[in-house]
Structure 1
């Protein structure tokens, strides 16, 4: 029921918001959040660790992604610059005629290259049906 103010002759309703209950509720919520915030543990991401392969590949094809996102395909002693569109066909050609799983594809990228570029290269190779694609890593010293 709204408050009623009596002034002289007539009664008039007070149409102001009572802020005291609102402030009480906000203070209670603030205290609840302050108490529960330290109890919430941040979610941890369980990343895979670098291990050793069961069997080293007989041959290796390396896709090098430079700082300027240029692609170079290294196969044996040969090294040739490559466009993204021709990359999958060149890798499949280097794997052709050999038993499946004997030619591994290793992607080496500069540290400053965007993650999106590395994923785009992996996706291009995967869509073309290239098997045994891995990432080159440098072990911490």
Structure 2
């Protein structure tokens, strides 16, 4: 009698074997856990900001309120600020700073004003040639 072969053809599996991947990840985890305490934190060099000994006697103040309206006045004066549009800001600041070279400009904004509105004012002042711009909150 002949014995019939009950052998079936092997089919390849279409699955990814995760065991080697897990082994590699565990080895990397152990390496990082061992080396992390040995690494000394390095010093980070942050940019420095110049500090004035006192506030300037004369400066132009640009105020941005909650509704992003712009008001301009000479600083340290008790005069009421005048409201200006964003397109007229540079002209008004230059008119107030005539006769004074390198006049500082203080941009005071409400804490709820969007950062983009403040940076647009600073960008326009820088483009107009204003060298000294300071920031403040109302």
Fold in common (TM above 0.5): yes
Q: TM-score, normalised by structure 1?
A: 0.69
1:15 corresponds to: 12
1:81 corresponds to: 83
Report the 3-state secondary structure (helix = DSSP H, G, I; strand = E; otherwise coil) of the residue aligned with 1:59. coil
CA-CA distance at 1:130 after TM superposition: 2.4
Cα distance in structure 1, aligned partners of 2:115 and 2:43: 22
Q: Does 1:59 align with 2:61?
A: no
Alignment of structure 1 residues 122-141 onto 2, 5 Å: 122-136=122-136
Structure with a larger share of its residues in strand: 1
Cα distance in structure 1, aligned partners of 2:73 and 2:28: 61
CA-CA distance at 1:22 after TM superposition: 3.0
Cα distance in structure 1, aligned partners of 2:43 and 2:113: 27
Q: Does 1:112 align with 2:112?
A: yes
1:3 corresponds to: none
Q: Does 1:91 align with 2:93?
A: yes
Residues 69 and 45 (structure 1 numbering): CA distance in 2 closer, same or farther, change over 3 Å?
farther
CA-CA distance at 1:68 after TM superposition: 1.5
Report the 3-state secondary structure (helix = DSSP H, G, I; strand = E; otherwise coil) of the residue aligned with 2:81. strand
Residues 126 and 50 (structure 1 numbering): CA distance in 2 closer, same or farther, change over 3 Å?
closer
Runs ≥4 residues deviating over 6 A: none
Q: Do the aligned residues in 2 keep the contact of 1:106 with 1:134 (CA within 8 Å)?
A: yes
Q: Do the aligned residues in 1 keep the contact of 2:60 with 2:73 (CA within 8 Å)?
A: yes
Aligned length: 128
Q: Do the aligned residues in 2 keep the contact of 1:104 with 1:131 (CA within 8 Å)?
A: yes
Consecutive unaligned residues of structure 1, counting only runs of 5 or more, are: 1-7
Residues 110 and 25 (structure 1 numbering): CA distance in 2 closer, same or farther, change over 3 Å?
same
Residues 132 and 14 (structure 1 numbering): CA distance in 2 closer, same or farther, change over 3 Å?
same
Q: TM-score, normalised by structure 2?
A: 0.70
RMSD between superposed Cα atoms in Å: 3.2
